[in-house]
Amino acid sequence: MSLIAPSRGGKGSQKSGARRAENNRIYAHPLPLVFLPPTFDSAYSPARLLSLVGLSAARVENPHCEGVFDPATRSVWVTNERDSTILWRRGFFGKGDLSRSEPSWLARQINARKAAGKYMTSEEIREKRRAERRQFKLDRAAAIARAAAEAEAAFAEGREAAPVAIPSGATWKPPSSGDSALPAMPPPEDEDSESEGEIEEEQPLENVEHLQLTLQEAWFLLWNLDCLTVLDPHTNKPMTLSQIWHTFLTAHPIPPLLRADAEQRFDNPFLVHYAAYHHYRALGWVVKGGIKFCVDYLLYKRGPVFHHAEFAVVVIPVYEDPEDQASSPFTLSNADTFSWTWLSTVNRVNSQVQKTLILTYVTIPARSRVSPDLLSSPACLAHFSVREVVLRRFIPARMRD
């Protein structure tokens, strides 16, 4: 049975269909690497000969993006607008430091300037709806209080209580104001459509936003796809792979006396979270941060533009050798036994937003079994194992069938 309601036609469905088609065109590539079809220049071209024997002759287009490592935020900053657009549109990597998700600060500022009091921007519409919801809750609470006071007074006087209208979400209307009459911001028009008499007197906007990549996203891009170059923040020169590996392993703040031991520990936070991140990215999921819902990651089928996240992931480290946990300089989240109160809280939060909670257990190899010398290269990641437990909240009223 299809979960998508059939289209009823009309102007609204046409707009949504056009927007969906535009998103399919913009976000057509799941990764920054693009595989282009081969070109057959002649009958004896190498591409044609390879196709005859069953080998692919597709060409790979590598964008070769650049980013700067920022030790304060433990992330990689992509300041080039072209690279930021490519990494976001081809796999939804990173987030804008001035935006909730997509780096759209400049577009929002341009739309707000074009509105000039005639239209409402998307941010203004969102804040207006939140204010209306807050006002509705206040009005409903006040009406319930009046109804309770009237019932007590009627009981004391021995009469029938007068009816008090309690607003509901279906009948309540926000108070009229001047801003509410403004229409929504229309899509930006081309510059040619502006009248010749209009002269832009304001200063041009400068894009001060950058794309912020987590360490897990940056390592996935440079190690698995080879499409990212990380620059040293002091010299502004490209870092070697060994330098980046050493920098990411020591990026987590620990006491200076224990910093030398960080590169000799398999329970390094970067390794534990990257094992989970790589596990889901390799399976084709779009992995984003889930701190908003009290989890580590959110899993999208195609990306935040198309659908909401269906799954919420909590990374739970599991030590193969308990002695390694006792001697660890790191304090890993969820490494200790969690309580049922914590589990019920996280599960309830994600159930209310229609997300399935997944407990992802990352097994940390024992130092007594695996040599710490493997930590000098990414070969150590092969010794991590990932197990999953899907947790669903039982709702008796909805699960009787």
Residue boundaries of the structural domains of the chain? 28-61, 63-99+209-251, 108-190, 260-401
Percent of the chain surpassing pLDDT 70: 79
Percent of the chain surpassing pLDDT 90: 45
Catalytic residues: 300, 308, 355
Phi, psi of 314 (to 5 degrees): -110, 120
The helix/strand/coil state of 121 is coil
pLDDT of 170 reads: 75
Q: What is the C-alpha to C-alpha distance for residues 252 and 216, in angstroms, rounded to an integer?
A: 13
pLDDT, averaged across the chain: 83
Dihedral (Cα; 104, 109, 112, 114), 10-degree rounding: -110
Q: What is the pTM of this model?
A: 0.76
pLDDT tens digit sequence for 308-353? 999 999 999 999 999 999 888 888 989 988 888 999 899 999 988 9
pLDDT tens digit sequence for 127-136? 888 888 899 8
pLDDT of 206 reads: 85
Work out the average pLDDT over 126-153: 88
Highest mean pLDDT among 3-7, 37-41, 258-262: 258-262
Q: What is the C-alpha to C-alpha distance for residues 343 and 391, in angstroms, rounded to an integer?
A: 10
pLDDT of 72 reads: 93
Q: What is the largest CA-CA distance in the chain?
A: 103
Which superfamily is assigned to 63-99+209-251 in CATH?
tRNA intron endonuclease, N-terminal domain (3.40.1170.20)
Q: How confident is the model at residue 36 (pLDDT cuts 50, 70, 90)?
A: confident
Neighbouring residues of 71: CB distance < 8 A, sequence distance ≥ 6: 233, 251
Distance of CA 397 to the CA centre of its chain: 32
Give the fold, CATH level 3, of 260-401: Trna Endonuclease; Chain: A, domain 1 (3.40.1350)
Q: What is the C-alpha to C-alpha distance for residues 60 and 313, in angstroms, rounded to an integer?
A: 32
Dihedral (Cα; 266, 271, 277, 278), 10-degree rounding: -80
Helices (H) and strands (E) in the chain, counts: 10, 12
Work out the average pLDDT over 62-82: 95
Work out the average pLDDT over 168-193: 60
In contact, 319 and 335? CB cutoff 8 Å: yes
Q: What is the CA radius of gyration of the chain?
A: 28
Dihedral (Cα; 250, 387, 307, 170), 10-degree rounding: -110
Determine the straight-line distance between the first and last CA of the chain, rounded to whole angstroms: 16
Work out the average pLDDT over 97-117: 82
Work out the average pLDDT over 54-79: 87
Strand partners, 78: 211
Q: By C-alpha distance, which of 338, 302, 299, 301 is closest to 318? A: 338
pLDDT of 118 reads: 66
